Amino acid sequence: MKKYNSLHKIRNIGIVAHIDAGKTTTTERILYYTGKVHKVGEVHEGAAVMDWMEQEKERGITITSAATTCDWKGHRINIIDTPGHVDFTAEVERTLRVLDGAVVIFCGVGGVEPQSETVWRQADHYHIPRLTFVNKLDRVGADFYEVIEAMEKRFKLVSLPLQIPIGKEENFRGVVDLVKMKALIWKGHDLEAKIVEEEIPFYLKEKAYHWHNYLMEKIAENNEECLEKFLNEEALGIERMKEEIRSMTMTHKVVPVLCGSSLKNKGVRLLLDAIIDYLPSPLDILPAQGVNPLNEQKEERESSLEGPFSSLAFKVVTDPYVGRLTYFRVYSGKIKAGSFVYNSTKNQKERIARILEMHANYRTERKEIFAGEIGAAIGPKNIDTGDSLCEEKSPIIFEAIKFVEPVISVAIEPKTKLDENKLSICLSKLAQEDPTFKIRQDPETGQTIISGMGQLHLEVVLHRIQREFKVGVNIGEPRVAYREAIREKVQARGQYIRQSGGRGQYGDVYLEIEPKKNQEENFVDKTRGAPIPKEFIPAIKKGIKEAMSIGILAGYPLIDVKVSLLDGSYHPVDSSEFAFRTAASIAFKKGVRQASPYLLEPVMKIEVTTPETFIGEVMGDITSRRGRVYDMDTKEKICYIDAYIPLAELFNYATRLRSLTQGRGIPNVEFSHYEEVPAGIAEGIVGKEGKNA
């Protein structure tokens, strides 16, 4: 493949959407039209190149984000195809962290679905310019204009249609290009269908001119020179229009909208043109922000081939053939195979033995990777997701990637004694790959507890353990990841004083413990006059952190708690880090018991799609599960119910919903927030799992 040193010719984009909106199908067509593959793999046949894992082929869904690189009209496009299921939202999070632009795909029938909202919020968080593609317009019930209306309503955005469809549902045959003001008609239905430029059909002219004038108004609002020409009814020119649309897209003033049907090979080549025309190159984005670890000063890294090497590791995977693979995005400079990099996050040097350019699970050897590119490294043993890599003489630490905490847990154990060591190794590897997959030992039962984002997430992990790592396991019942919190502000003293024949132990702390507000720090040192030497403060913080990880009601972690160190005392000989850590833990536990502790449970946001015939049964079932319906809509005899339901009430919900709706009800579940457990239920949980200290 041609090597690109010209940064303005590179596009780093993600394909994101709700599950089943057509992300992978669109990516497969992109790979075909750019010459990356010579045969299109279909998702429903389990043959998609980008869905390479066995479970992805079997389930027909994307589980892990897959990277690839292709060429289109003299530009290099680095693409990451992401999962749509909410259980794998961490894949989307870390992908968006390192990309410059995104294509958000909406189903022409389903419109703005729950996971569409989640990925949109994630893209907002990273300020990523995006364009949208309304897919599946050949399907019964598809409505391009209704999807635009839903986007504007849900996301409060200014949509900018660049195309409108010609024909509806099975008669969808082309689009009106609102920039050129020409009809583009597909002649044929196969991959080689030609796009023929024609005059706009007479019955669409009024609508086309309406949307073209809307487009020109937005361009005029963006630029005074364009406004003058618009008012004088002067032609602007296609290239100038594209420049202004690109400018508005990158400054988040508008979101361009395109349309098509990826499965029927319609609109994908025009989407590729739009990616080149309207999404940013590495030169168009703001410099990467970070902190110099030597002086704690903020620094920037411009996208430049000449600057010092800097990059962010955004994904780690275990490859059965090459071992540990670290995916990274280069922000500045370049890195050569065989060279050393400095992991500024961990203050370690690592050797990059080989560098690969990835195409799903296929790989091409590269001698070096440049600024603006995405690659994978073989060799590093201690680089984790979110670590910053750079030159040792020009260190920088970029902002780490933040992930949502897991909400569901199961106990896991090896089937045989021989599998015990293998299980420990494979769980460790899986946790390195997936930041939302957590492992811990229950201190009382000794059980290994694994936690994830949902039942599907844990199912996939368990299948990988059995298939990839060949480890037999038994699992327990799913457990809810409850949390504990407090209502009141209290003060408490903790002392750890031990005298023996030799050196004793002395630690004395006085803490104030209170509910934490949003942006407050978890720990504040309010001591005056140094009653405790500064070297013991980290030990006090550690003791509090350890105590917070095991609550006093039922052993669940405490959240939203602020602790202030008010006072204390020390002994010049007997005081130690251990003594102060223990004293802090004693004081914290004592204070929490007096602060009216209570139990919190994860509450899930659920959207149920069901034929309206079954609405009574579905609503009754939601109510019986302590659910609260907050929105309901009916469209063409299909009812969409939005509700909040505690996770504890949702196990096996999908099976029950299928039973109630004769297999036609579809649930979509994602984590929403934590909420106090009702008193009667909390008593049962505390009685069953209480570990009163």
Is residue 418's pLDDT more than 60?
Answer: yes
Is residue 405's pLDDT more than 70?
Answer: yes
Least reliable range by pLDDT among 97-101, 439-443, 507-511: 439-443
Is residue 49's pLDDT more than 70?
Answer: no
% of the chain with per-residue pLDDT over 90: 44
The pLDDT tens digits of the residues spanning 86-138 come to 667 777 888 888 899 999 999 998 888 767 877 888 888 889 999 999 999 99
% of the chain with per-residue pLDDT over 70: 92
The pLDDT value recorded for residue 62 is 47
Taking residues 428-437, what's their average pLDDT?
A: 86
Is residue 502's pLDDT more than 80?
Answer: no
The pLDDT value recorded for residue 149 is 93
Cβ atoms of 575 and 615 within 8 Å: the answer is: no
SS3 at position 455: helix
Residue 689: which pLDDT band, with cuts at 50, 70 and 90? low
The top-scoring range by mean pLDDT among 175-179, 221-225, 468-472 is 175-179
In eight-state DSSP terms, residue 535 is G
- 593 phi and psi, to 5 degrees? -60, -30
The more confident residue out of 362 and 155 is 155
The pLDDT value recorded for residue 584 is 95
Residue 40: which pLDDT band, with cuts at 50, 70 and 90? low
Is residue 84's pLDDT more than 80?
Answer: no
The pLDDT value recorded for residue 42 is 52
CA nearest neighbour of 176 among 148, 205, 147, 150: 205
Taking residues 387-416, what's their average pLDDT?
A: 87
CA nearest neighbour of 256 among 164, 119, 363: 164
The more confident residue out of 434 and 398 is 398
The pLDDT value recorded for residue 64 is 62
Residue 163: which pLDDT band, with cuts at 50, 70 and 90? very high
For 499-520, the DSSP string reads --SS--EEEEEEEEEEEPPTT-
The pLDDT value recorded for residue 44 is 43
Strands (DSSP E) along 547-656, which ranges? Answer: 561-569, 597-611, 628-635, 638-646
The more confident residue out of 691 and 494 is 494
Unique residue bearing structure tokens 């502000």: 489
The pLDDT value recorded for residue 46 is 43
CA-based torsion, 263, 265, 271, 272: positive or negative: positive
The pLDDT value recorded for residue 523 is 92
Q: Exposure of 19 by Cβ count < 10 A (0-12 exposed, 13-18 middle, 19+ buried)? A: buried
The pLDDT value recorded for residue 691 is 45
Cβ atoms of 422 and 471 within 8 Å: the answer is: yes
* 22, 23, 26, 27: CA torsion to nearest 10: -150
Strands (DSSP E) along 323-425, which ranges? Answer: 323-332, 334-336, 340-343, 348-351, 354-359, 362-366, 368-370, 374-378, 388-390, 397-398, 408-414
Taking residues 645-658, what's their average pLDDT?
A: 84
Cβ atoms of 30 and 272 within 8 Å: the answer is: yes
The pLDDT tens digits of the residues spanning 517-531 come to 877 788 999 998 889
For 110-125, the DSSP string reads TBS-HHHHHHHHHHHH
Q: Where does 13-137 have alpha helices with state H? A: 23-33, 54-59, 89-98, 114-125
Taking residues 21-33, what's their average pLDDT?
A: 87
In eight-state DSSP terms, residue 691 is -
Total residue length of the chain = 693
Helix-then-strand count for the chain, H and E: 16, 38
The pLDDT tens digits of the residues spanning 602-620 come to 998 888 888 888 999 999 9
The DSSP bridge partners found for residue 568 are: 509
Taking residues 507-515, what's their average pLDDT?
A: 94
In eight-state DSSP terms, residue 542 is H
The pLDDT value recorded for residue 75 is 93
Tell me what the pLDDT averaged over the chain comes to: 86
The pLDDT tens digits of the residues spanning 343-400 come to 999 999 999 999 988 776 677 889 999 998 888 898 888 888 899 999 999 999 998 8
* 456, 458, 460, 462: CA torsion to nearest 10: -140
For 290-307, the DSSP string reads EEETTTTEEEEE-S-SSS
Cβ atoms of 450 and 514 within 8 Å: the answer is: no
CA nearest neighbour of 458 among 312, 306, 282, 651: 651
The top-scoring range by mean pLDDT among 261-270, 377-386, 646-655 is 261-270
